[in-house]
Amino acid sequence: MKFFRYRRPSWKTALGVTRAKKRVKKALGITALLAPFRWWPNQVRKAKRRLGWYSPLARLIRLGLPRPGGCLVLIAAGLSLLGAMLGACILAVLP
């Protein structure tokens, strides 16, 4: 498993429940039985991959720049700006 991940794994994944369920489905042949129903989503994903939808540049355009700490940086900046504006208003009102 990678040290840094885009998303945190679920508890089921961390405990191995998901892997065990997949192993049982494959052993019973359920995966092969449901394969035709995955054909269209697979074709769409292949087309997107060929167009470069998943490339780093396209991902950057779609999602914007990555922000450390998620939106916490934006919230902190907004609060500091609000505090500065409030302080300026208070100083303007006081004689």
pLDDT in tens, 28-74: 999 999 999 999 999 999 999 999 999 988 988 888 777 666 666 66
Predicted local confidence at residue 73, as pLDDT: 65
Mean pLDDT of the chain: 85
Question: Could you tell me the residue ranges of all domains in the chain?
Answer: 68-95
Share of the chain above pLDDT 70, in %: 83
Q: Two tokens at 34?
A: 């449901």
Both structure tokens of 40 = 């269209």
Residue 18: Cβ within 10 Å count = 14
Q: Side-chain half-sphere of 87: how many Cα atoms within 13 Å? A: 6
Does this model's pTM top 0.85? My answer is: no
